Amino acid sequence: MKVALTHDYLNQYGGGERVLETLSEIFPEAPIYTLFYDKDKTRNRFDGKVQGTSFLNNSLVANNHRFFIPLMPTAANLMDLKSDYDLIISSSAGFGKGIGTSQWLKVKSQKLPRHISYIHTPLRYAWESSQYFNWHPAVKLAAAPIFSYLRQWDKKAGQRPDTLLANSHFISEKIKKYYNRESEVIYPPVDSSKFYKSDVKRGGYFLAVGRLLPYKRFDLIIEAFNRLNWPLLIVGDGPELPNLKSMVKSKKIEFYPFVDDNDLRTFYSGAEALVFPQVEDFGLVAAEAQACGCPVIAFSEGGAREIVTEGVTGVFFHKQTVEDLVVAVKRFLLTSFNEDAIQKSAEKFSKNKFKKEILKIVKSSQIA
């Protein structure tokens, strides 16, 4: 069976890229097609795998990709994904499911490949633009035709796959809302060979991990820990770094760049808790933390509700405010947690389980 993998773009290494990496492990001979690729920013994890890119494949786009979002549907449509594959598996938070597939519509005389799309989220810039673009009303009005175009394209692209998979029930509901399609939930993979409870004494600091983007709400964490004046380690990098550093008033808040998985496991294993204040499609770092026996203090929306169990693997706060987060951190310290139970709870997100479920879907698609 000839398999190809597609992914939106590869200029960062986060949860979506970990999923792609695991798909590539399942199908090691499968080439990867993506809009643009920066091997350094993806830690060389896909070196030798990327076979096709779009006209957007250059450093200017890779370093400033949000400015080029309006061009990405066209770039995806124009990519030449040969129709002699038996199976396409797309990893998509927007554009991956559309890479090359518009070309298939022109080839009606031959059998088309089956297409399974693993949806991290419908295109958030199209459907939830107000959350990601805090623009002046006049600018929003001027940009309205662009967002309308993106919504139309994304809905049309969402009809092309034969099978839709969602990374959480939260995203499955969005797929139903925006694409009017059903989807099966398969949780993203946590690699238990890398993330497990290590022999590190727990306590002494709280932890936040991820790409430093506005919607991740690292600003909320910093404001809360400025007030608490308790140790906080922030692991990650991104465009918000200068702004976040300027907010720091407590000498107990420290920043670390992205680290390798071994160091990240040590951070998780030694933390009092991971602080997770954002609304995520799933939230792989929260699942990784729990695999290391680390409880999570999470905002009670999005994928976190499918990862954290109140009082067992962490605690929730219910308003995205400094006051509510501070109360949650203090309440967390009054609650006892069993590290073994937390680690066991993460088994439902294991890489082995993910692989088995993907192969089961692939097998059923061959029969269909």
* Residue 266: predicted pLDDT: 96
* Residue 143: predicted pLDDT: 76
For residue 336, pLDDT beyond 80: yes
Q: Which two tokens stand for residue 67?
A: 């400015």
Query: What distance in Å separates the CA atoms of residue 290 and residue 273, rounded to the nearest whole number?
Result: 9
Architecture of domain 3-189+350-367: 3-Layer(aba) Sandwich (3.40)
Contact 164, 230 (CB under 8 A): no
For residue 132, pLDDT beyond 70: no
User: With bands split at pLDDT 50, 70 and 90, how would you rate the model's confidence at 231?
Assistant: very high
Mean pLDDT of 109-123: 88
CA 25 to each of CA 93, 103, 187, 217, 258: distance values in angstroms, whole numbers, following the listed order: 20, 27, 17, 32, 23
User: With bands split at pLDDT 50, 70 and 90, how would you rate the model's confidence at 81?
Assistant: confident
End-to-end Cα distance, the chain: 15
Query: What distance in Å separates the CA atoms of residue 146 and residue 31, rounded to the nearest whole number?
Result: 32
Contact 125, 150 (CB under 8 A): yes
For residue 108, pLDDT beyond 60: no
284-291 vs 261-270: helix crossing angle, rounded to 10: 70
Q: Where do the structural domains in the chain lie, given as residue ranges?
A: 3-189+350-367, 206-348
Of 79-83, 139-143, 283-287, which one has max mean pLDDT? 283-287
Taken in order 209, 213, 214, 216, is the CA torsion positive or negative?
negative
Mean pLDDT of 40-66: 94
Percent of the chain with pLDDT over 90: 83
| pLDDT single digits (tens) 233-244 | 999 999 999 999
Query: What distance in Å separates the CA atoms of residue 247 and residue 123, rounded to the nearest whole number?
Result: 31
Percent of the chain with pLDDT over 70: 94
Architecture of domain 206-348: 3-Layer(aba) Sandwich (3.40)
Cβ count near 187 (within 10 Å): 21
| pLDDT single digits (tens) 285-331 | 999 999 999 999 999 999 999 999 999 999 999 999 999 999 999 99
User: Which strands, in side-by-side order, build the sheet including 50-52?
Assistant: 50-52, 32-34, 3-7, 87-92, 114-119, 163-166, 184-185
* Residue 112: predicted pLDDT: 81
Q: What is the largest CA-CA distance in the chain?
A: 67
Domains 3-189+350-367 and 206-348 share a fold: yes
What residues contact 64, with CB distance under 8 A and at least 6 apart?
none
The model's pTM is 0.93
Mean pLDDT of the chain: 93
* Residue 57: predicted pLDDT: 97
* Three-state DSSP state, 330: helix
Mean pLDDT of 264-285: 96
